[in-house]
């Protein structure tokens, strides 16, 4: 599932579960730039500071997008 496919509580939970599974899979860890919590949260804050596009109208999709960005943002 891609972050832009999230549309409600259930699909958000599914997306977060998928992210966790990717992080636990050694063959998928290279897809992540920020694999520890400190790096992830720092990237999330940096992305939120730098981001200048309007938020997605769907709050579940918006939250999923923030998580997706934090996994790779430098």
Residue 74 has pLDDT above 90, yes or no: no
CB neighbour list of residue 60: distance below 8 Å, 6 or more residues apart: 6, 7, 8, 9, 11, 12
Q: What is the mean pLDDT of residues 44-73?
A: 93
pLDDT at 53: 87
What's the pTM? 0.87
pLDDT at 12: 97
Distance between CA atoms of residues 67 and 70, nearest Å: 5
Distance between CA atoms of residues 24 and 59, nearest Å: 26
pLDDT at 20: 94
Secondary structure percentages of the chain, helix, strand, coil, to 5: 70, 0, 30
Write the pLDDT tens digit of every residue in 6-48: 999 999 999 999 999 999 998 988 889 999 999 999 999 999 9
């Amino acid at each position: 599932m891609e972050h832009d496919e999230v549309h409600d509580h259930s699909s958000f939970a599914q997306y977060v579960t998928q992210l966790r599974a990717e992080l636990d899979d050694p063959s998928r860890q290279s897809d992540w730039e920020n694999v520890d919590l400190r790096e992830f949260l720092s990237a999330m804050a940096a992305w939120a500071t730098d981001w200048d596009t309007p938020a997605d109208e769907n709050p579940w999709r918006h939250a999923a997008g923030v998580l997706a960005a934090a996994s790779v943002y430098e």
